[in-house]
A = this chain, B = another copy of it.
Amino acid sequence: MKTATQVIDCDIHHAFKDHRQYGAYLRRHWKGPIPGGGAGVYASPIGVHRKDAYSDAGESAAADPKLLTEFLMEPYDMAYGILTGSSYDISVHPNADFAAAVAAAYNDHLLEEWLPYNPRFKGSMTVAVQDPQLAVREIDRIAPHPDIVQLVLASAARLPYGHRYYHPIYEAAERHGLPVAIHPGSEGSGISGAPTAAGYVSNYMQWHTSLSQNFMAHLVSLVCEGVFERFPKLKFVLVEGGVAWLPHLMWRMDKNYKALRSTTPWLKKMPSRYIREHCYLTTQPIEEPDNAKHLQQIFDMIDAENILLFSSDFPHWDFDDPFMILKGISGEMKEKIMYRNAKELYSLS
């Protein structure tokens, strides 16, 4: 099988083999419990990984560069795969120093064991946002590596991402030319507060369905706080947050801006224009209406051709297969979503 176009996958979850390997990367005296990677009390009833994402010997294909190459990069002929890891919960851990140490362990593991193995792997470094000054130091340490193409943060947060608290991190990311990605998985755990504005939902299905709301809140905050005026070269990537909510958000924010712009005097354009110029959304989990035409209409509303990036979310249960996704579109739009938008955003050759 071949896709009609080359492919860059913008969300591949490489992993530690086990907690022992994670611990070996932890610095100095940090020998505490390692965050378990994800949803906390909102456990998936069908597990997190696909059943076919393991070798015959039972090894996770996400925890071994060779297996990941064999399971994903080669069969789908991926031009590049953006490794996003699974360290989402460090930014909602109560201990800032421990979180920074876990972030460093994640980054060193990425640099030492993953990026050298396959030149098609590109890395998303992470930081703990609890101490922005430590985060900047970590960005300065890791970002210069040529295979680091992005900074990934949890979408779970104590404060929406537009707040000034985070601006030193954006200054560093912009200075190093790194897009900032946010990724769901730890909403409702650690110090992040309830996973919805209405409080705690009851189970994984409700939690998963509601994850997009965190992305909406961050996007409203980023635009309205003027982050993209203050950091004009900064790009944001909304990974695994869904897509079809964006028309609503842009229209509502633009409409409100017409009446309430006195509260955001630093904005010089309509809010939706900042989104179109600074933000990208990855495809998985793409919405699947019964009427395929409806998704194409949504794509038209959001200028999908220029702001979507393909992602598989390998090895998670809701993995989107590049051969199956986006059947309803073709031509230049498909090529841009599957390949060219990511190639340009991440400056890949």
- Residue numbers of A with Cβ under 8 A of B are 44-46, 155-163, 187, 193-206, 208-210, 212-214, 216-218, 220-221, 224-225, 242-245, 247-249, 251-257, 259-264, 285, 287-289, 291, 294, 297-298, 300-301, 317-318
Contact = CB atoms under 8 A, between A and B. Distances in A.
B248 A205 contact: no
A29 B250 CA distance: 48
A161 B203 CA distance: 14
Given A197-B213, A201-B224, A259-B317, 14 more contacts: A45-B263, A46-B259, A157-B199, A160-B206, A193-B193, A193-B199, A198-B217, A209-B253, A242-B248, A242-B252, A245-B245, A247-B294, A248-B287, A251-B288
Identical chains in the assembly:
2
A229 to B, nearest CB: 15
B287 A255 contact: yes
Contacts of A242: 248, 252
A19 B63 CA distance: 64
Nearest to A198: B217
A155 B262 contact: no
The 10 closest A-B pairs by CB, nearest first: A196-B217, A244-B248, A251-B287, A198-B217, A245-B248, A205-B260, A213-B213, A297-B297, A160-B198, A203-B263
A162 B204 CA distance: 15
A179 to B, nearest CB: 19
Given A197-B217, A214-B197, A221-B202, A255 B285 contact: yes
A154 to B, nearest CB: 10
A182 to B, nearest CB: 10
21 contacts: A155-B198, A159-B198, A160-B199, A160-B201, A162-B202, A162-B206, A193-B193, A193-B197, A197-B214, A198-B221, A205-B261, A205-B263, A209-B252, A244-B248, A244-B251, A252-B285, A252-B287, A255-B288, A289-B301, A294-B300, A297-B297
